[in-house]
Amino acid sequence: MIKRLIKKISVLVFLLVGVGMVAPAIAQQTASQGNIIKRVTTSTQKGASFLMIRGTLSPGQLGDIGIRKKGETSFVVSIPNALIDPEKIQKLSQKFSLRDPIKQINFIEDIREIGDEVVFIVELEVETRKPYQLEIIKPITSSSIRIRMEEAGMAQKQAEMEKEEMVQKEKLAEKARMLAVKKKEESAVKVLRTTAKAQKTVEEILQQYHRPSIMQLSIINASGWQKRAYKLSVFLGKEKKKEIEESLGIKLDIVNISNAKNDRHNQSTIYFRSNFLKPALFLAKLIPGEQKMVPINNKRERLGVDIEIYLGVDYR
């Protein structure tokens, strides 16, 4: 009888506050001392399902809000210091569409006497379509309580996905490490090859600067003008011969003076064997104009010739 009487009085006070028949100060005090549940809905945010309990709430009084499981697909939300707004929630049972994760909610108002105090409690008996893991999202606001509903097994699945992602990251990191080691090894091999090539180049240069005892010279006229080869042979073999032999320390021997048959050079060119670079450079300084320096290769091999001078069209 006491509980029923208290409940009737509380509901009457709630209705009077709702229609404005109680003094504003009393209404404000009553509203600040409890939580009024007005509506319950569901929502989906970023792929997660939520149970939304809306109303006029006092977050400071909802520290004891609790959730307890009743079965695999049912649970109870217990809201302390709360009443149901009879104008907004007119039925004590609410059904949801097939698209919702919730089948039905039953609203239960309970009044308990704890010592000298009377405590109002609203319980929501929730029946779901699948087993869910539940979590109250903090902080609770003055207008809504949010409860996250995550399918049972999703947390384990998420953990497995994160573990798999970690394994993939480790594989990629290992692959990157192996690639770095391979590049380092390739770089070391490249350095060794470059060093060997540099040593070979040094040996070739030393060989090129090695002083031979005789220099056999061939002069070929590829300029298209008559007697150019002959004139150069006189210049080198008579006028400059002593200077050449004393400066280079070798004997000059002009073994060939001829005209090019089918080969016409635009630029004068001096072909030389690998160990006649220095003599070739010395002759290039004596010959008027500019000459291109080219080592003798197998295609231009001349027996008994160490340096071959081709006089081009540019030679005057």
Mind giving me the DSSP string for 220-257?
A: EE-SSSTTHHHHHHHIIIIISHHHHHHHHSSEEEEEEE
Owner of token pair 């006189």: 234
Say if strands 251-259 and 214-221 run parallel, antiparallel, or are unpaired.
parallel
Model confidence over 114-172: pLDDT tens digits? 777 788 899 999 999 999 999 999 999 999 999 999 887 665 666 677 788 888 888 89
Instruction: For the chain, give the percent of residues with pLDDT over 70.
Output: 81
Q: Look at residue 313 and tell me whether its pLDDT is greater than 60.
A: yes
Model confidence over 242-290: pLDDT tens digits? 999 999 999 999 999 998 877 667 889 999 998 899 999 999 999 988 8
pTM as predicted: 0.43
311: three-class secondary structure by DSSP:
strand
Residues 217-230 have a mean pLDDT of 89
Report residue 214's pLDDT band, with 50, 70 and 90 as the boundaries: very high
Do 62 and 145 contact (CB within 8 A), yes or no?
Answer: yes
**Domain range list for the chain:** 2-151, 214-311
Identical fold for domains 2-151 and 214-311, yes or no, is no
Task: Measure the CA–CA gap between 235 and 232, rounded to whole angstroms.
Answer: 5
Do 152 and 132 contact (CB within 8 A), yes or no?
Answer: yes
Do 49 and 129 contact (CB within 8 A), yes or no?
Answer: no
Q: Look at residue 33 and tell me whether its pLDDT is greater than 90.
A: no
The yes or no reply on domain 214-311 and CATH 3.30.70 is yes
- CATH topology for the 2-151 domain: Immunoglobulin-like (2.60.40)
* Least confident among 6-15, 147-156, 184-193: 6-15
Do 237 and 306 contact (CB within 8 A), yes or no?
Answer: no
Owner of token pair 């109870």: 76
Task: Measure the CA–CA gap between 228 and 222, rounded to whole angstroms.
Answer: 9
